Structure 1
Amino acid sequence: MSAPARTNASGQAALAFPAVMLAAFFVVPFGLMIAVSFFSREQGGFYTPVLTTANYQRFLSWFFADILLFSVGLSALVSAVCLTIGAPFTYLLSRLPRRSQVPWLVAMMAVLSLSEVIIGFAWSTLLSRTAGLSNLFVAIGLMDGPEAWSPSFTAVLCGMVYQAFPYSILVLYPAFSRLDPSLSEAARTLGASPVRAFFNVIVPSLRNALVATFIIVFVFALGAYLLPQLLGRPQHWTLSVLITDQAVYQSNMPFAAAMAVFLVASSLILVLLSTMFGGRREAK
């Protein structure tokens, strides 16, 4: 066998294991979930394998459409906040000496090691009336009395941004670290302020990385489950919470599968759009 043939065969063998794992743990379960979403629910938590679109028709009702719109809007808001804070932060981080960057990156990794339960209870304590930040504001004279800021939409947003922020930094950091420093120096030489140079030169040159970060954080936030329950009220619950409620507490697996199919399909479409957008930008 020639050397190119051996290289091709070894490459295919290396891809065989990931392909088998992807098929076993994603393609097959997702296919079963699609099949169950067309089944009919019976009394007692059972379901009949008949072809029906009733579950999808129910999902398109105004009640569940409102929850879907809230979930999408919340995920987009979390992505926008993470990108607004993360892009300047990552740019400044990438301009620091290497020895100064390491502690910040370690801190980001430390946040990733925290479970969603710990993050939820930590933020509920910080925003509580008895031991929250409002007591500090009262002590320094900014407030007359302590207030409870959780559960609320703001608490849900803060918790989800805190959880997703390290992911946005880790996605943006490679792109910012490879950025040519002469770009901002040239803009400064031509009279642009640091802020104007960042938005007129740095941001357009890293458009692909920014769009990819937005989509990754959006998909991550779209599947939020514990934080909306720990930090929000029922009107702040996301679609993932309703999927669990239908599957576990209502014993309506076909309807839960229909909602889960839509959630996974939405994530896959966003990833596909991100890939297509990046490919077109590189081709240009």
Structure 2
Amino acid sequence: MRREPPQHLSDYMPILFPALMLIVFFVVPFGTMIAVSFFKRQAGGFYTTDFVLDNYARFISTFFGGVLSFSVGLSILVAVCCVILALPFTYLLTRMQKQVQVVWLVALLSILSLSEVIIGFAWSTLFSRTAGITNILVLLGLMQEPVALTPSFGAVLTGMVYQAFPYTVLVLFPALVRLDPTLTEAARTLGASPVKAFATVVIPALRNTIIATLIMVFIFALGSYLLPQLLGRPQHWTLSVLITDQAIYQSNMPFAAAMAVFLVLVTLGLVALTVIAGKKGETA
């Protein structure tokens, strides 16, 4: 059946409410943020409604370049670690019985229900000197005395991977469920080991899905705010933390707005790449 185009104004009513919500909660705030990003900051934390490019010119400074490179590098590392860990885990999960799959998926969903604050404080406790995991290593005779593992880059990376891992599994799960199991069985019949069959059959078959998952996890990690503060030092802060620091503690709202605009545009660009990768996966 051919879909008829809208003939009357009432035909657009189903999309009127979502469009209104999009305008109120995204277009208007984002437009305001763009306008503030061109304002001029005055002494004492005030700013005037002017049109200057000073806030965007600071993007080429060493300070911003260092924060941006660290945020991007950390997000890439988190995305790669999550996919490397989640891909074989999810593949094995799809080969289990339905009851076992349900238990694991409920456990992963329970992790997603935890707030970033709870995850941050839980890992800070595990990495602490008094009640952390190093006390177990001391009991096993592997260490002389307990030490604090936080604040450190490793603690930030571990917390962010833990937070993004369930999200990665849930994104990969539908694609791996739809994968024809006879493909790996044929590879095994031809003499390939389970690892080789997984590397030469499963991974190439899910190439576009893996790319889209990497991009989505990267976006998820790029917006991390609390974990870098709770588990790391100031040099481990991401761009999201810097935006809050400039807006609240430094009283530099125009520069914070400019960085927020930059972050939103990068995120929208990556979302577009994810959509393109998904469409290529459907046509492949």
Q: Which residue of 1 aligns with 2:149?
A: 149
Deviation larger for 197-206 or 273-282: 273-282
Q: Which residue of 2 aligns with 1:210?
A: 210
User: Aligned-pair distance for 1:31?
Assistant: 1.3
Relative to structure 1, is the Cα distance of residues 8 and 219 closer, same or farther in structure 2, using a 3 angstrom cutoff? farther
Distance (whole Å) between structure 1 residues aligned to residue 202 and residue 241 of structure 2: 39
Deviation larger for 53-62 or 73-82: 53-62
Q: Check conservation: 2:215, 2:270, Cα contact below 8 A.
A: yes
User: Aligned-pair distance for 1:272?
Assistant: 1.1
Q: Which residue of 2 aligns with 1:198?
A: 198
Q: Check conservation: 2:208, 2:280, Cα contact below 8 A.
A: no
The correspondence of residues 181-192 of structure 1 with structure 2, limited to 5 A, is 181-192=181-192
Distance (whole Å) between structure 2 residues aligned to residue 32 and residue 200 of structure 1: 50
Q: Which residue of 2 aligns with 1:161?
A: 161
Identity level (%): 64
Relative to structure 1, is the Cα distance of residues 157 and 3 closer, same or farther in structure 2, using a 3 angstrom cutoff? closer
User: Aligned-pair distance for 1:282?
Assistant: 4.0
Q: Does 1:221 align with 2:221?
A: yes
The correspondence of residues 243-258 of structure 1 with structure 2, limited to 5 A, is 243-258=243-258
Deviation larger for 239-248 or 7-16: 7-16
Deviations 1:78-97 (A, max 9, x none): 00000000011011001111
* SS of alignment partner, residue 50 of structure 1: coil
User: Aligned-pair distance for 1:19?
Assistant: 2.2
Distance (whole Å) between structure 2 residues aligned to residue 205 and residue 169 of structure 1: 17
Q: Check conservation: 2:212, 2:277, Cα contact below 8 A.
A: no
Deviations 1:238-267 (A, max 9, x none): 111110011011111100000111111111
User: Aligned-pair distance for 1:198?
Assistant: 0.8
Q: Which residue of 2 aligns with 1:76?
A: 76
* SS of alignment partner, residue 106 of structure 2: helix
TM-score by length of 2: 0.94
Distance (whole Å) between structure 1 residues aligned to residue 281 and residue 174 of structure 2: 18
Deviations 1:133-158 (A, max 9, x none): 11101101111111111110000000
Distance (whole Å) between structure 1 residues aligned to residue 11 and residue 108 of structure 2: 34
Distance (whole Å) between structure 2 residues aligned to residue 29 and residue 38 of structure 1: 15
Distance (whole Å) between structure 2 residues aligned to residue 260 and residue 40 of structure 1: 16
Q: Check conservation: 2:40, 2:48, Cα contact below 8 A.
A: yes
Distance (whole Å) between structure 2 residues aligned to residue 275 and residue 6 of structure 1: 26
Distance (whole Å) between structure 1 residues aligned to residue 23 and residue 206 of structure 2: 34
Q: Check conservation: 2:39, 2:49, Cα contact below 8 A.
A: yes
Distance (whole Å) between structure 2 residues aligned to residue 11 and residue 210 of structure 1: 39
Distance (whole Å) between structure 2 residues aligned to residue 195 and residue 3 of structure 1: 48
Distance (whole Å) between structure 2 residues aligned to residue 246 and residue 20 of structure 1: 31
Deviations 1:196-253 (A, max 9, x none): 1111111111112111111111001101111001000111111111100110111111
User: Aligned-pair distance for 1:279?
Assistant: 2.8
Deviations 1:77-122 (A, max 9, x none): 0000000000110110011111110110000011011111111111
Q: Which residue of 2 aligns with 1:108?
A: 108
Q: Check conservation: 2:228, 2:238, Cα contact below 8 A.
A: yes
The amino acid that maps onto 2:84 is T
Relative to structure 1, is the Cα distance of residues 67 and 3 closer, same or farther in structure 2, using a 3 angstrom cutoff? closer
Distance (whole Å) between structure 1 residues aligned to residue 149 and residue 220 of structure 2: 25
Deviations 1:10-56 (A, max 9, x none): 98433332222122111221111111101101233321111111001
The amino acid that maps onto 2:212 is A
* SS of alignment partner, residue 146 of structure 2: coil
* SS of alignment partner, residue 137 of structure 2: helix
* SS of alignment partner, residue 202 of structure 1: helix
Structure 2, unaligned stretches of length 5 or more? none
User: Aligned-pair distance for 1:278?
Assistant: 3.2
Deviations 1:51-73 (A, max 9, x none): 11100111220111101000000
The correspondence of residues 18-37 of structure 1 with structure 2, limited to 5 A, is 18-37=18-37
Distance (whole Å) between structure 1 residues aligned to residue 208 and residue 255 of structure 2: 37
Q: C-alpha root-mean-square deviation of aligned residues, in Å?
A: 2.0
